[in-house]
Amino acid sequence: MQRIFGLVKDKAEKLLADGTVNRVIGWKNGEFFYDQTPAVFSAEDKLDGLVYDGFCASNLSKYLVKESKKDGKILALLKPCDTYGLNQLIKEHRVNRENIYVLGIGCDGMLDTNKIRDKGIKGIEKIEENGDDLVIQTIYGEKSCKRSEALLDKCLCCKGKEHMVYDELLTSDEELPENKSDRFELVEKLEAMTPDERFAFWRGELSKCIRCNACRNVCPVCTCEKCIFDNDNSGIASKANTDSFEENMFHIIRAFHVAGRCTDCGECSRVCPQHIPLHLLNRKFIKDINEFYGDFQAGADAEARGPLTDFTKEDVEPSIVMNKGGNL
Amino acid sequence: MPIKESENGQFKPLIVAFCCNWCSYAGADLAGTSRLSYPADIKIIRVPCSCRINPMFVLRAFQRGADGVILCGCHPGDCHYSTGNYYARRRMTLLFSMLDYLGIERGRTRVEWVSAAEGVKFSATMNEFSKTIHELGENKKLGDLRCKEFLD
Q: Which amino acid is at A27?
A: W
Smallest Cβ distance to A307: which of B90, B103, B107?
B90
CB contact under 8 A, A328 and B106: yes
d(CA A168, CA A179): 26
Whether the per-residue pLDDT at B2 is higher than 60: the answer is: no
**Any CB–CB contact under 8 A between A204 and chain B?**
no
Beta bridge partners of B11: B5
| 3-state secondary structure (DSSP) of residue B83 | coil
H or E stretch covering A85 = helix A80-91
The ipTM of this complex is 0.89
Residues B129 and B120: their CA atoms lie apart, in Å, by 14
Helical segments of chain B, H only: 24-33, 55-63, 84-101, 119-136, 148-151
Q: What are phi and psi of A85, to 5 degrees?
A: -65, -45
Residues with Cβ within 8 Å of A179's Cβ and at least 6 positions away in sequence, in order, are: A156, A157, A158, A160
B78 touches chain A (CB under 8 A): no
The pLDDT value given to residue B150: 60
Between positions 113 and 132 of B, the ones with CB within 8 A of A are none
Residue ranges of E strands in chain A: 23-28, 37-42, 50-51, 74-78, 100-105, 124-130, 133-138, 141-146, 168-170
d(CA B54, CA B49) in angstroms, rounded, equals 11
pLDDT confidence of residue A282: 95
Q: Which residues of A touch B143 (CB under 8 A)?
A: 245
Pairing of strands B109-113, B68-73: parallel
Given an 8 Å threshold on Cβ–Cβ distance, is B101 in contact with A199? Answer: no
pLDDT over 70 percentage in chain A: 94
Strand pairing report for A100-105 and A168-170: parallel
| A315 vs B contacts (CB less than 8 Å) | 76, 86, 89-90, 93
B133: three-class secondary structure by DSSP: helix
At residue B84, does pLDDT exceed 50?
A: yes
Residue B75 has pLDDT above 60, yes or no: yes
Question: Is this prediction's pTM over 0.80?
Answer: yes
Alpha-carbon distance A75 to A15, whole Å?
A: 8
Residue-wise pLDDT for A47-69, tens only, equals 888 999 889 999 999 999 999 99
Residues of chain A predicted below pLDDT 70 = 1-3, 173-180, 235-236, 325-328
- CA-nearest residue of chain B to A194? B103
With a cut of 60, say whether residue B1 has pLDDT above it: no
pLDDT tens digits for range B8-60 = 778 889 999 999 999 999 999 999 999 999 999 999 999 999 999 999 999 99
* CA dist list (Å): B70 to A139, A175, B43, B53, B134: 61, 52, 10, 11, 14
pLDDT, tens digit, for every residue of B112-124?
999 999 999 999 9
- Which string of DSSP letters, residue by residue, matches B17-29? EEEETTTHHHHHH
User: In chain A, which residues have their Cβ closer than 8 Å to the Cβ of B104?
Assistant: 195, 199
Q: Where does residue B108 fall: left (phi above 0), alpha (psi -120 to 50 degrees), or beta otherwise?
A: alpha
Distance CA(A154)–CA(A152), nearest Å, equals: 5
Task: Work out the pLDDT band at B140, boundaries 50, 70, 90.
Answer: confident
CA-to-CA distance for A255 and A113, rounded, in angstroms?
Answer: 27
- Pairwise CB contact (< 8 Å): B143 & A319: no
Is A311 within 8 Å of B94 when comparing Cβ atoms? Answer: no
